[in-house]
Amino acid sequence: MATDFDDTLKVSAAAMTAQSVRLRTIAENLANANTAALTPGGDPYRRKVVTFRNELDRTSGDHFVKVDKIVRDTTPFETHYAPGSPGADAHGYIRMPNVNPLIELGDLREAQQSYQANVDVISVAKTMLSHAVDLLKP
């Protein structure tokens, strides 16, 4: 019985770890949403996206979510007219990051909900384990 609870806690903890990496990456994207190129023709900040993988623990048979990699989004950069900027080209345009704050906020909300769902799973598992221990007391 204890191993089932242990496995539940480990699976949820792994998912929380993966989502915390995603949350940090989204925060970085939002923080750099307006970081334009500093030199003419230079690249601005490029959005990062976290990908996940399913990992099997052969000893327990449990499946864990893990961060596979953090990749750079290849969506094209937008250009804005800002002739006074140090990053402006000969025509006065600067390249802006490919970060859409609305998409980031949607991803942020989804990651928060996933993280919270795993916190809830751990809380319920701990409560059930506590009740099971209480039942064993004389």
pLDDT in tens, the chain (138 residues): 446 778 888 899 999 999 999 999 999 999 999 999 888 888 999 999 999 999 988 887 888 999 999 999 999 999 999 998 999 999 999 999 999 999 999 999 999 999 999 999 999 988 888 888 888 887
Q: Summarize pLDDT for 26-46 with one digit per residue, the tens.
A: 999 999 999 998 888 889 999
70 beta partners = 50
- This prediction has a pTM of 0.85
The amino acid that residue 136 corresponds to is L
| Cβ neighbours for 120, distance < 8 A, ≥ 6 positions apart | none
Three-state DSSP class for 10? Answer: helix
Q: What residue spans of the chain are helical by DSSP H?
A: 2-31, 101-136
Distance, CA of 24 to CA of 107 (rounded, Å): 12
Backbone φ and ψ of 49, nearest 5°: -130, 135
Q: Is 33 left (phi over 0), alpha (psi -120 to 50) or beta?
A: alpha
Which pLDDT score is estimated for 73? 97
Terminal Cα-to-Cα distance of the chain (whole angstroms): 19
Q: Summarize pLDDT for 62-72 with one digit per residue, the tens.
A: 889 999 999 99
Three-state DSSP class for 87? Answer: coil
